[in-house]
Amino acid sequence: MALPEQPVDGGPPIFDPGNPFVSRLPAALSAEVVRDPSGKEMLAVTMRVGNGTLTAILEKHEGQEWGGLINGKAAQISGLVLAPGVLRQ
């Protein structure tokens, strides 16, 4: 897989060129509504790949921004195919 050095939109590089683990791996994305210690509802988003797990705790507007970014970028791909169960609602 050829890795782009710079995103088309001019933002920071999407891949860390110093990370030897950057490659196409099976991945799973999940999201759940959780409560922080004060009782406020937050969105926990977790991405699991073969070499790590990342969880972000987001406020509602941040979750909407992330969802919009993912949907917008996915819409730019022709013929996007996702394995059943990869994205849970």
Q: Which region among 2-11, 27-36, 51-60 has the lowest average model confidence (pLDDT)? A: 2-11
Q: Which residues are registered as beta bridge partners of 42? A: 34
**Is 1 a residue whose pLDDT tops 60?**
no
Q: Which residues are registered as beta bridge partners of 56? A: 45
Q: Which region among 20-24, 29-33, 50-54, 57-61 has the lowest average model confidence (pLDDT)? A: 20-24
Q: How far apart are CA 32 and CA 14, in angstroms?
A: 25
| pLDDT tens digits along 17-42 | 777 767 677 788 999 999 999 999 99
Q: Mean pLDDT, to the nearest integer, of 79-85? A: 67
Q: What pLDDT, on the 0 to 100 scale, is given for residue 13?
A: 74
